[in-house]
Amino acid sequence: MKKYHYTEGNNSYGPFTLEELSAKNIGPNTLIWTEDLVTWTKAGEVPELRSILKNDSINPPSIPRSEEFESTTQQYTSSQSSAANYQRPPKTYLVETILTTIFCCWPLGIPAIIYASRVEKKFYAGDIIGAEADSANAKKWMLINIGASVLLWIGYFGIFGLAIFTGLSDGF
């Protein structure tokens, strides 16, 4: 059964079946996403949803005053542009986290890999904010891993360099 997600600009909701979605009272301009769609699409443009959309012609909206019109236009434009910004998921850092885990400090690389692997799953489920947060966490843990590894190597060379220097100065 096909599952649908919808967004009101800031938050996304779903997954819902077609019957569950019909109870949500969505309009033709509500952004919808399913696994079949590449990006968020207006509900009026999805053929199977046309039968469940509320009909705005029955109760036309009141004519807004000029201040309301400007704020409504700005809200629509900003939500439309934010939806356009999310056509691709955020960077996952998966390759980078795997490489830093292999070549650096693996206990600190495990959280980085976990966060990186959840980015696309959350994005395609409609949780854009969660995907961005996981992307940021993956990057943070990758950088912590690199920093800890650099500090360990500096300590390693410092200890052995001091031992070699002490041995040479004592006439080893």
pLDDT tens per residue across span 36-46: 887 888 888 88
Which pLDDT value is given to residue 115? 95
Phi-psi region of 171 (alpha: psi -120 to 50; beta: other; left: phi over 0): left
pLDDT tens, 136-167? 999 999 999 999 999 999 999 999 999 888 88
Q: Where are the beta strands (DSSP E) in 8-81?
A: 12-16, 31-33, 41-42
Of 28 and 60, the structure prediction assigns the larger pLDDT to 28
Q: How confident is the model at residue 58 (pLDDT cuts 50, 70, 90)?
A: very low
Of the candidates 139, 26, 130, 25, the residue with the CA atom closest to the CA atom of residue 86: 130
Cα→Cα distances 163→149, 155, 169, Å: 21, 12, 10
Considering the domain architecture, whether residues 69 and 116 belong to the same structural domain is answered as no
Domain boundary among 33, 50, 85: 85
Which pLDDT value is given to residue 134? 95
Considering the domain architecture, whether residues 32 and 64 belong to the same structural domain is answered as yes
Considering the domain architecture, whether residues 108 and 80 belong to the same structural domain is answered as no
Q: Determine the Cα–Cα distance for residues 99 and 151; give it in Å rounded to an integer.
A: 18
Res. 76: pLDDT tops 60: no
Which pLDDT value is given to residue 131? 93
Domain boundary among 38, 64, 85: 85
Range of the domain at 107: 94-169
Considering the domain architecture, whether residues 100 and 67 belong to the same structural domain is answered as no
Which pLDDT value is given to residue 70? 52
Q: Determine the Cα–Cα distance for residues 122 and 118; give it in Å rounded to an integer.
A: 6
Res. 83: pLDDT tops 90: no
Considering the domain architecture, whether residues 13 and 81 belong to the same structural domain is answered as yes
Considering the domain architecture, whether residues 76 and 55 belong to the same structural domain is answered as yes
Are the beta carbons of 2 and 47 closer than 8 angstroms? no
% residues pLDDT > 90 (the chain): 29
Domain boundary among 85, 103, 126: 85
Considering the domain architecture, whether residues 14 and 71 belong to the same structural domain is answered as yes
pLDDT tens, 85-98? 547 889 999 999 99
Considering the domain architecture, whether residues 77 and 117 belong to the same structural domain is answered as no
Which pLDDT value is given to residue 135? 94
Considering the domain architecture, whether residues 70 and 143 belong to the same structural domain is answered as no
Considering the domain architecture, whether residues 49 and 111 belong to the same structural domain is answered as no
Considering the domain architecture, whether residues 138 and 111 belong to the same structural domain is answered as yes
Which pLDDT value is given to residue 81? 43
| Tokens, residue 40 | 């968020």
- DSSP-assigned beta bridge partners for residue 6: 13, 32
What is the total count of domains within the chain? 2
